[in-house]
């Protein structure tokens, strides 16, 4: 009945014509057991809390063990460099400058005749301390400001976002030069602090954006109608759901801060010259990069391994904390 | 993208007049189609041995719930399977040509030209940075339109005018965001039919639209395709809509065709158990309210008192809303300027204890805004919300906190209403913890109780929301809402996002809970078909105002207002009710 097929079928008075070939009434044999399962749940008892689940998840990933090992070794070296070498990194003998690897000195000597292996071990501390400290400060400062701006909105947002923009406009190195050049006692803490003061803006922007999108979810409204206070909702629901991009950025930032410390040291306004750091050694090695690249190789390698370790760990943690990314 | 279409040139089909094919020769013939996806855990067989035949100019519908493989089957016809999907067996014959394993150029030439497509979501299927006209132009060009610029422009205007957009030339210069959802879908239908295809695949073409708009669009689509002689393959989850718009139905379940045949026959006399259930639970076809176990308000009030173990409530009115108005200020063009928008305009209604009141209206009618004011999430501009005889706005913070326990919401989106970072246990326990109910142990007992109540196994509490289906999540949301033993539950489109079978299960569950616990429901929905199944009283809203207010039976049997009649008319398959009642 092609001529009246837009009429509701039920009302058409004509009897149904015989179906055409290929359109006869067909019924599949009844399915065994499949039908009742429309709304069934996958059921088996597994651990309950988010953290315990995350741990179970991480434990099974080789990347977790690789990055964990790297981080433990780096931290050990940073804390107790004396355990790994008995040579004083500051005891240099110009007569041995640029000598190649030899017994007791596996990495050879730099231009000042210092033992590169020893300097790489001792340099870990300053770099790791600056990197970890600056990153923690940036995460705390940036997340707080970004979350308040994004969650409370209105004039909080206007003011905090403008402040963020102002700091965003100041180049990190320029700002650091101004502050460090007037500082009298240049410690690792001060370097980290200066880096954090000019480095939190990116993370504040990221947090604000994620919080803005998370706070419109219905589970937030549900929490509100339970009578939960705004601050409580922010801490319990909104922030955990905004954590993923923050973790990712923080692990990247860690590497950037270690490099930034090197930049400051290279400009002579970072850590004092008597402090051994990867950054300082990398900048010192730059002059000889064409003739003796191996001097650069070791401190730079230490930096790369550290940054890589933290970034891999960040990836693993982010995946484990996100129930959506979990595989069973 | 621009191909030379050697295939269609070789075929003697004229440029603008398709469907001159032999009407008794199948246009599309799918035989024993197998489609599988490769995933991390191995092969998933999305479609298993599907058969389907479409004749020229015919309307055929594939009906099934999400995950049944209906969209996958349709996508395989034009070789647009997502991700790792692959046709692993069977054949797809289109107009005498085999499409499985055909070279890419060949299927590309068919797309748009011989087989048009109307996608599901009009919001995301138009590129927001291009004018509508440009997008139509692109579609025409890609399908081999040859002609001058002026001809092209006239053709674009024609396409839009055909699709039922008035003032087409001006419309062509507008951007998608200036169009309403219905207008966008019209534009997409215009694009889909622009090159006069022989077959149009319409994948849930109106599921994102209001019912009245849905009806207009489907009517127009029907007229257009009939005039052009285009065959239409509908993909839908709505059995009523399918039966109304197509003469041949194909019912799919878990990748298999479980039943197919003439629409009327399937509806009147379903054979397969799944089809039987589908027909039985399709809301548009169901006749009356579920169970109606609670006979009078009196009885349920007693039940309620028993349930709470408290004194019987002060009044028989759970919620009383009077002259409720909400005005939003919309930011104007200049800074500082603003215009008032009255979202809810002088709305009054009363929700009786142990009863269900449905607030019905299309999107933008203000029904959700009204619900949010009842929930205390929005301050009314004027008017009062009385809860159990007390004006809610007069409560001090401590009383307001206690008031929260007595009225709880369940939201529409089962994917957004549960915190993905919270396990099911924590989600349900949260309200108890927040209101300092019981010890850790007794709270755990209560969570187990609640899971039983919503018919989920207790082991589900170790799970996270993403591991559950939409229906299961909605059960969790209901369990959470019931945790504090509220008296009133506000259900904001709580079943709209669910498949019909699951929807029927949830409605049954809600009804059982109402009978057992004496709950009062404020049921917000756009779907009148559902209202008939669950509600005792109906308030119809339009543009923020109440247009009709009566008992459910009165509204359905004797609607007073034209708007209500339009809404009733628009229920897909509404006319089929009488037919089915016998079978």
Instruction: State whether B369 and B484 are in the same domain.
Output: yes
Residue B457 is assigned to a structural domain of this protein: yes
Instruction: State whether B271 and B306 are in the same domain.
Output: no
Instruction: State whether B393 and B256 are in the same domain.
Output: no
Instruction: State whether B275 and B338 are in the same domain.
Output: no
To the nearest whole angstrom, how far is the Cα of A102 from the nearest Cα of chain B? 50
Structure tokens that stand for A246 in this block: 């923050």
d(Cα B190, Cα B209) in Å, to the nearest integer? Answer: 17
Q: Out of A8, A42, A328, whose CB is closest to B575? A: A8
With an 8 Å Cβ cutoff, are B576 and A39 in contact? no
For chain A, which residues make up each domain, given as ranges?
Answer: 57-85+110-325
Give me the number of domains chain B comprises: 2
B9: pLDDT confidence band, cut at 50, 70 and 90? Answer: very low
Helix (H) or strand (E) holding B88: strand B86-94
Instruction: State whether B403 and B487 are in the same domain.
Output: yes
Query: Using an 8 Å Cβ cutoff, are B428 and B461 in contact?
Result: yes
Q: Which residue of A has its CA nearest to B29?
A: A22
Digit-coded pLDDT (tens) for B394-407 = 888 888 888 888 88
To the nearest whole angstrom, how far is the Cα of B155 from the nearest Cα of chain A? 27
B interface mutation test: which of A36, A220, A222, A243 has the most B CBs within 10 A?
A222
Q: Closest by alpha carbon to A221, among B410, B478, B496? A: B410
Confirm whether the ipTM is greater than 0.85.
no
Per-residue pLDDT, B283: 65
To the nearest whole angstrom, how far is the Cα of A20 from the nearest Cα of chain B? 8
Residue B174 is assigned to a structural domain of this protein: yes
Q: How many A/B residue pairs have CB atoms within 8 Å?
A: 196
Question: Around Cβ A255, how many Cβ atoms within 10 Å?
Answer: 18
With an 8 Å Cβ cutoff, are B411 and A222 in contact? yes
Instruction: State whether B382 and B276 are in the same domain.
Output: no
With an 8 Å Cβ cutoff, are A219 and B262 in contact? no
d(Cα A197, Cα A265) in Å, to the nearest integer? Answer: 18
Per-residue pLDDT, A293: 81
Instruction: State whether B310 and B409 are in the same domain.
Output: yes
Instruction: State whether B258 and B330 are in the same domain.
Output: no
To the nearest whole angstrom, how far is the Cα of A229 from the nearest Cα of chain B? 10
Digit-coded pLDDT (tens) for B163-176 = 888 888 888 888 88
Query: Using an 8 Å Cβ cutoff, are B404 and B480 in contact?
Result: no
Q: Out of B404, B416, B576, whose CB is closest to A217? A: B416
Q: Which residue of A has its CA nearest to B415?
A: A218
What is the number of helices (H) and of strands (E) in chain A? 12, 1
A225 contacts in chain B (CB < 8 Å): 375-377, 404, 407-409
With an 8 Å Cβ cutoff, are B256 and A28 in contact? yes
Name the residue range of residue B419's domain. 297-582
A6 touches chain B (CB under 8 A): yes
Query: For each of chain A's 328 residues, which pLDDT tens digit applies?
Result: 343 333 344 444 444 566 777 778 887 776 544 443 434 444 444 445 667 777 887 888 899 999 999 999 999 998 998 888 888 888 887 887 777 778 778 888 887 788 888 888 998 888 889 999 999 999 999 999 999 999 998 888 999 999 999 998 988 888 888 888 888 888 888 989 999 998 899 999 999 999 999 988 888 988 888 888 889 999 989 998 888 889 888 888 887 888 788 788 878 788 887 888 888 888 788 777 787 788 888 888 888 898 889 888 888 888 887 776 655 4
Residue B289 is assigned to a structural domain of this protein: no
d(Cα B75, Cα B85) in Å, to the nearest integer? Answer: 10
B interface mutation test: which of A23, A230, A326 has the most B CBs within 10 A?
A23
A interface mutation test: which of B66, B246, B258 has the most A CBs within 10 A?
B258
Per-residue pLDDT, A273: 78
B284: pLDDT confidence band, cut at 50, 70 and 90? Answer: low
Q: Which residues in chain A (174-233) have CB-CB distances under 8 A to chain B?
A: 217-219, 221-228
Instruction: State whether B361 and B393 are in the same domain.
Output: yes
Per-residue pLDDT, A146: 94
Residue B167: CB partners within 8 Å, gap ≥ 6? none
With an 8 Å Cβ cutoff, are A48 and B461 in contact? yes
Instruction: State whether B257 and B302 are in the same domain.
Output: no
Q: Is the model's pLDDT at B152 over the cut of 50?
A: yes
Domain A57-85+110-325 homologous superfamily, CATH = MetI-like (1.10.3720.10)
> Reduced to 3 states, what is the DSSP secondary structure of residue B542?
strand
The mean pLDDT of chain B is: 81
With an 8 Å Cβ cutoff, are B462 and A326 in contact? no
Per-residue pLDDT, B294: 43
Instruction: State whether B262 and B358 are in the same domain.
Output: no
Q: Out of B272, B420, B480, whose CB is closest to A30? A: B272
CA A273 to each of CA A162, A267, B113: distance values in angstroms, whole numbers, following the listed order: 38, 11, 74
DSSP assignment of A253-319 equals HHHHHHHHHHHHHHTT-SS-TTS--HHHHHHHHGGGTTT-THHHHHHHHHHHHHHHHHHHHHHHHHH
Residue B424 is assigned to a structural domain of this protein: yes
Residue B182 is assigned to a structural domain of this protein: yes
With an 8 Å Cβ cutoff, are A39 and B502 in contact? yes
Per-residue pLDDT, B200: 92
Residue B431 is assigned to a structural domain of this protein: yes
A interface mutation test: which of B25, B50, B260 has the most A CBs within 10 A?
B260
């Amino acid at each position: 009945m092609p001529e009246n097929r837009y009429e509701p079928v039920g009302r058409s008075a004509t009897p149904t014509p015989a179906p055409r070939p290929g359109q006869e009434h067909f019924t599949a044999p009844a399915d065994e057991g499949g039908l009742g399962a429309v709304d069934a749940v996958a059921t088996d008892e597994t651990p309950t809390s988010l953290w315990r689940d995350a741990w179970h998840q991480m434990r099974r990933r080789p990347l977790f063990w690789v990055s964990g090992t790297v981080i433990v070794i780096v931290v050990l070296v940073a804390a107790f460099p004396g355990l790994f070498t008995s040579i004083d990194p500051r005891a240099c003998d110009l007569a041995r400058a640029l000598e190649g690897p030899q017994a007791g000195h596996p990495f050879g000597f730099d231009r000042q005749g210092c033992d590169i292996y020893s300097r790489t071990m001792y340099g870990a501390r300053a770099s790791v301390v600056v990197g970890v400290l600056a990153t923690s400060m940036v995460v705390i400062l940036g997340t707080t400001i970004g979350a308040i701006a994004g969650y409370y909105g209105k004039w909080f947002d206007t003011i905090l976002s403008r402040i963020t923009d102002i700091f965003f406009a100041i180049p990190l190195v320029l700002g650091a030069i101004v502050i460090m050049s007037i500082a009298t006692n240049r410690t690792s803490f001060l370097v980290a602090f200066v880096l954090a003061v000019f480095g939190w803006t990116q993370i504040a922007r990221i947090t604000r954006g994620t919080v803005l999108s998370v706070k419109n979810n219905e589970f937030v409204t549900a929490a509100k109608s339970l009578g939960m206070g705004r601050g409580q909702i922010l801490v319990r629901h909104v922030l955990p759901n905004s954590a993923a991009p923050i973790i990712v950025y923080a692990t990247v930032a860690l590497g950037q801060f270690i490099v930034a410390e090197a930049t400051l040291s290279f400009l002579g306004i970072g850590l004092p010259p008597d402090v051994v750091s990867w950054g300082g050694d990398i900048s010192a090695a730059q002059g000889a990069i064409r003739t003796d690249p191996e001097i650069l190789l070791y401190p730079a390698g230490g930096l790369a391994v550290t940054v890589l370790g933290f970034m891999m760990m960040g990836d693993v943690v982010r995946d484990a904390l996100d129930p959506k990314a979990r595989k069973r | 993208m621009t191909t030379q279409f050697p295939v269609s040139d070789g075929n003697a089909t004229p440029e603008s007049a398709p469907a001159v094919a032999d009407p008794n020769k199948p246009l599309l013939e799918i035989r024993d189609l197998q489609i599988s996806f490769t995933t991390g855990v191995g092969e998933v067989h999305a479609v298993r041995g599907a058969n389907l035949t479409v004749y020229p100019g015919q309307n055929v519908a594939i009906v099934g719930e999400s995950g049944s493989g209906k969209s996958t089957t349709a996508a395989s016809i034009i070789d647009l399977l997502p991700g790792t999907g692959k046709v692993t067996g069977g054949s797809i014959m289109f107009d005498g040509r085999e499409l499985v394993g055909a070279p890419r150029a060949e299927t590309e030439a068919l797309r748009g030209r011989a087989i048009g497509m109307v996608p599901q979501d009009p919001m995301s299927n138009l590129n927001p940075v291009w004018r509508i006209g440009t997008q139509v132009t692109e579609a025409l060009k890609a399908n081999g339109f040859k002609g001058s610029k002026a001809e092209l422009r006239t053709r674009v205007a024609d396409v839009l005018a055909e699709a039922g957009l008035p003032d087409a030339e001006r419309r062509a210069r507008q951007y998608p965001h200036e169009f309403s959802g219905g207008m966008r879908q019209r534009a997409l239908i215009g694009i889909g039919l622009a090159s006069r295809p022989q077959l149009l695949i319409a994948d849930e073409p109106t599921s994102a639209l209001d019912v009245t708009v849905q009806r207009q669009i489907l009517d127009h689509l029907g007229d257009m395709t009939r005039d052009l002689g285009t065959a239409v393959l509908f993909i839908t989850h709505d059995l009523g809509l399918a039966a109304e718009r197509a003469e041949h139905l194909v019912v799919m379940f878990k990748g298999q065709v479980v039943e197919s045949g003439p629409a009327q026959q399937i509806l009147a006399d379903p054979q397969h158990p799944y089809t039987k259930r589908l027909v039985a639970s399709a809301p548009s076809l169901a006749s009356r309210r579920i169970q109606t176990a609670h006979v009078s308000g009196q009885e349920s009030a007693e039940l309620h008192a028993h349930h709470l173990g408290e004194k019987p409530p002060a009044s028989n009115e759970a919620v009383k809303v009077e002259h409720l108005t909400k005005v939003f200020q919309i930011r104007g063009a200049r800074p500082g300027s603003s215009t008032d928008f009255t979202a809810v305009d002088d709305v009054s209604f009363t929700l009786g204890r142990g009863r269900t009141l449905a607030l019905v209206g299309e999107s933008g009618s203000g029904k959700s805004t009204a619900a949010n004011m009842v929930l205390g999430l929005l301050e009314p501009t004027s008017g009062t919300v009385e809860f159990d005889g007390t004006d809610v706005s007069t409560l001090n913070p401590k009383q307001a906190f206690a008031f929260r326990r007595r009225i709880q919401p369940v939201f529409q989106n089962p994917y957004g209403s549960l915190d993905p970072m919270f396990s099911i246990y924590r989600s349900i326990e949260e309200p108890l913890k927040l209101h300092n109910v019981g010890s850790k142990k007794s709270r755990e007992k209560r969570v187990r109780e609640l899971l039983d109540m919503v018919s989920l196994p207790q082991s589900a509490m170790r799970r996270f929301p993403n591991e559950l289906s939409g229906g299961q999540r909605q059960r969790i949301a209901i369990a959470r809402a019931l945790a504090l033993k509220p008296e009133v539950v506000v259900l904001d489109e709580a079943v709209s996002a669910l498949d019909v079978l699951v929807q029927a299960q949830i409605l049954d569950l809600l009804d059982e809970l109402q009978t057992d616990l004496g709950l009062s429901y404020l049921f917000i929905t756009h779907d009148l078909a559902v209202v008939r199944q669950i509600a005792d009283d109906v308030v119809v809203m339009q543009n923020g105002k109440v247009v009709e207010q009566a008992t459910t039976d009165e509204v359905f049997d004797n609607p007073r207002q034209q708007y209500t009649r339009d809404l009733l008319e628009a229920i897909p398959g509404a006319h089929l009710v009488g037919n089915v009642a016998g079978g």
